[in-house]
C-alpha cells in the first residue's frame, strides 16, 4: 500500500504536462533516468506487457524470433502496477528465465531456423511431445496461434 502511494506520487511528478498519462519514451524514461533509476527498457516493456490489458499501440522486435507489444503512453494505475512488478526483481528474473526457456524450445522446433514454426515443424514438435495431431488438428492449431496469417 505504501509503495503504491509512493509510485502514485512519483507518477504525478513525472507527468510534466499534467495530461494524466506518461509518454513512455519521453516523460517516463527521461524522468526515471533523471531520478537515478537505471531501468532497462526491455525490463520495462516486459513489465508493461504483464500489467497493461488494453490494446497495444504497436509491435516491436524483442529479439530474433520474438515481438513485444508496445504502448506509447501509460496511465497512473498502469504505472503503479508496472513499478510494483519492477520492484520485485525475483519475479522479473523468473519471467526472463521463462522467456529464455521458451526461446530455447522454439529454436529446437524451428528446424529450418526461419524464425517461424510451420505446419510440418509443429507436427514434429507435437509428436515429440507425445501429442501427435492430424493435419486438420494442426491446421486448427495454426489458425489459433498464427498472429499474422502467414501459416506459420
pLDDT digits (tens, 9 = 90+) for 9-45: 999 999 989 999 998 888 888 888 887 777 777 788 8
User: Which whole number is the average pLDDT over 94-110?
Assistant: 76
Given a cut of 90, whether residue 126 has pLDDT beyond it is: no
Average confidence score pLDDT of the chain: 81
Q: Could you tell me the three cell numbers for 73?
A: 503512453
Domain boundaries, the chain: 2-88
Q: Structurally, what CATH architecture does the domain formed by 2-88 represent?
A: Orthogonal Bundle (1.10)
What is the pTM for the complete model shown?
A: 0.57
Percent of the chain with pLDDT over 70: 89
Given a cut of 60, whether residue 65 has pLDDT beyond it is: no
Amino acid at each position: 500500500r505504501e509503495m503504491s502511494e509512493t509510485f502514485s506520487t512519483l507518477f504525478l511528478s513525472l507527468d510534466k504536462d499534467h495530461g494524466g498519462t506518461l509518454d513512455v519514451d519521453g516523460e517516463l524514461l527521461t524522468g526515471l533516468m533523471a531520478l537515478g533509476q537505471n531501468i532497462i527498457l526491455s525490463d520495462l516493456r516486459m513489465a508493461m506487457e504483464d500489467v497493461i490489458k488494453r490494446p497495444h499501440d504497436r509491435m516491436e522486435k524483442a529479439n530474433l524470433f520474438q515481438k513485444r507489444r508496445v504502448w506509447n503512453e501509460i496511465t497512473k494505475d498502469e504505472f503503479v502496477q508496472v513499478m510494483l512488478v519492477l520492484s520485485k526483481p525475483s519475479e522479473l528474473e523468473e519471467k526472463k528465465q521463462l522467456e529464455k526457456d521458451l526461446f530455447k524450445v522454439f529454436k529446437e522446433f524451428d528446424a529450418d531456423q526461419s524464425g517461424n514454426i510451420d505446419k510440418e515443424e509443429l507436427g514434429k514438435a507435437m509428436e515429440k511431445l507425445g501429442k501427435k495431431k492430424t493435419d486438420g488438428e494442426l491446421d486448427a492449431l495454426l489458425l489459433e496461434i498464427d498472429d499474422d496469417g502467414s501459416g506459420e
